[in-house]
Amino acid sequence: MTFHGFPDEGLVFYEGLEADNSKTYWTRHRTVYDTCVREPMQALVEDLAAEFGPAKLFRPYRDVRFSNDKTPYKTHQGAVVTPEGRGAGAWYVQISAAGLQVAGGAWRLESDQVERYRRAVADDVQGPRLQDEVHRLSRSGWDVAGDRLTRVPRGYDVDDARADLLRHRSLHAGRLFPFAEWLHSAAALDHVRSAWRELTDLNTWLADNVAATTKEIRRR
């Protein structure tokens, strides 16, 4: 399967789903989702796998068990690459009516990973490395975000810039490419590849300094 772009019908499908997030709409347009959304996304990540690794495509169904929002379907199709054995640091891509979103980093860290992250931020070598990378990404138009505490955790003696990084319990960077004609062509592959390469240093820092959790993860 070779990636040739995201057909316009896929974006129109999501515009309709945003207006009518129902089983009736989904059933009527399921073929459009399969051929114009999921198959192109699968082809995209397969073409990127040689450089970044295999991807997982997310299911289109929302988990509504613990949410007040009971709409059944996601209004985007996402895929994530989590390199085996690295622990922290992943690549993400998403298509929706809004356009193409790319991202990387760590969206969730367990308590032992957060502790290692903080120690690395406070380190006089690793901390400035992350600080410089975050500044570089921000200057290049990336939105750097993550779950953060309201206050800096106690026990760390760092400058103001690293103090802000210490508040993070997760750290990731993303950007949205709004609709453009290249979304319908193989050029979208080049945009994702270039964007993911920009995130390599952030993911490497997370993998080297945070690594995988040693906690047993409880599944809900």
Whether 220 is covered by a domain: the verdict is: no
What is the pTM for the complete model shown? 0.93
Report if residue 26 sits inside a domain.
yes
| 3-state SS class at 113 | helix
What is the C-alpha separation between 133 and 204, in angstroms, rounded? 11
User: 33, 60 in Cβ contact below 8 A?
Assistant: yes
| Chain segment 60-92, per-residue pLDDT in tens | 999 988 888 899 999 999 999 998 767 789 999
Residue 153 lies in a domain: yes
- Give the per-residue pLDDT at 159: 81
The residue ranges of DSSP E strands in the chain, in sequence order, are 56-57, 76-81, 90-96, 99-106, 143-145, 171-178
d(C-alpha 147, C-alpha 107), whole Å: 8
Classify residue 219: in a domain, yes or no.
Answer: no
Task: Indicate which CATH number applies to the domain containing 133.
Answer: 3.30.930.20
- The pLDDT averaged over each successive group of 10 residues in the chain (220 residues) is 95 97 97 98 98 97 89 97 84 97 96 95 95 97 96 84 92 96 97 98 96 70
DSSP classification of residue 183: G
Predicted confidence at residue 220, as pLDDT, reads 46
Domains: count for the chain: 1
* pLDDT for position 217: 59
Whether 217 is in a domain gets the answer no
For the chain, the first-to-last Cα distance in angstroms comes to: 35
State the pLDDT at residue 158.
80
Q: Which residues contact 88 (CB under 8 A, 6 or more apart)?
A: 106, 109, 113, 203, 206, 207, 210, 211, 212
Q: Residue 65 is encoded by which pair of tokens?
A: 């068990």
Cβ–Cβ < 8 Å for 91, 52: yes
Residue 177 placed within a domain? yes
Domain-embedded: residue 163: yes
Q: ∠ CA(6), CA(9), CA(12), 5° rounding?
A: 110
pLDDT computed for residue 182 by the predictor:
97
Q: Which domain holds residue 204?
A: 8-209
Cα torsion 189, 192, 194, 196: sign: negative
147 belongs to a structural domain: yes
